[in-house]
Amino acid sequence: MRFDHDTLAQRVRFASGAAAENLAVEIKGLGASRVMVIAAEAERALARRVAAGLPVAHWHHEVAMHVPVEVAERAREEAAAHRVDALVCVGGGSTTGLAKAVALTTGLPIVAVPTTYAGSEATNVWGLTENARKTTGTDPRVLPRAIVYDASLMLTLPAALSVASGLNALAHCVDSMWAPRADPINLALAGEGIRALRVGLPLVAADPGDLEGREHALYGAYLAAVAFASAGSGLHHKICHVLGGMFDLPHAQTHAVVLPHVLAFNAPAAPDAERRVAAALDAESATEGLARLRARLDAPRALRDYGMAESGIVPAAEAILAVVPTGNPTAVTLDGITRLLHAAWEGAEPR
């Protein structure tokens, strides 16, 4: 056994019902006196409640999917105008992504308060979209200094969005099995992440107000993100980044739709990863286990349901082919990616 593994330096505070208290402790520890709170309009009231005790210099509510460059620029300008010395993001992946975009050029520290299972808060990955093209990269400046996890903040997250977001987290685990920097530690984290999500997501789908299910799912999403941050982007994430940037598709739902197709595409050529995923899903095979879980969750099925036109399949396949990560278990061809995308577009069974 021989590998190199990086563990990102970050504090995690995990406690249901303690978001405001833990957030205040983290901001005090930073010595911040002029905080910028970033939260989408839908999270405005929640953010005001969670950050009520902070020295807030500016509340910023312009958030957009995939972090358009122009939205990031306006947020950066606001941070400068209000002489901000720390960032707090309260929300899902788009909100965290915007905070990262500000930190990327300013070096401001971030404390993240997630309200979905996106996982961006535990990675040093940033993404910006310009002219229908999403660019991603890694930078230590964008890694939040601390994460404040509070499962009670997710009790009002609708079941359908919870399912999509949770399957996005599961995709982090699966991709970490064969991503460019996959190692035994990533595999262990990803396997436990899958198990926790398998337990938690059906509880959440059955009763969105079930705190136990929320905690399992949130714990699993964190492990998924840590594995992904170390292992890097595999084929699944490259596909979803291209689709999101080109067609402005909803992030979580896109990942939920594409995941079973990438798993079916790669699993036959990655028997060890396949066995690990199957075991974590408590199934005879990885594809069967994922199909069973998705059926229980009534998961998103087709890209066309979210606005992608069939005419976009070929140009998307061509763009994906240019960014395929090295070492993918199955050889990637234009024909293979085109067939995969068409199946995901129409909601066909994975092949």
Model confidence pLDDT, tens digit, residues 292-320: 999 999 999 999 999 999 999 999 999 99
Residue 6 has pLDDT above 90, yes or no: no
Describe the crossing of helices 159-176 and 184-206 by its angle, rounded to 10 degrees. Answer: 170
Residue 1 clears pLDDT 90, i.e. is over it: no
Q: What is the dotted CATH code of the domain comprising 159-346?
A: 1.20.1090.10
Of the candidates 113, 213, 221, the one whose C-alpha atom is nearest the C-alpha of residue 171 is 221
- Domain ranges for the chain, please list them: 11-154, 159-346
If you average pLDDT over every residue of the chain, what do you get?
A: 96
Is the pLDDT score of 59 beyond 90? yes
| pLDDT for position 351 | 80
127: closest CA among 329, 186, 118? 118
CATH 3.40.50.2300 corresponds to the domain 11-154: no
- 236-277 pLDDT, tens digit per residue, is 999 999 999 999 999 999 999 999 999 999 999 999 999 999
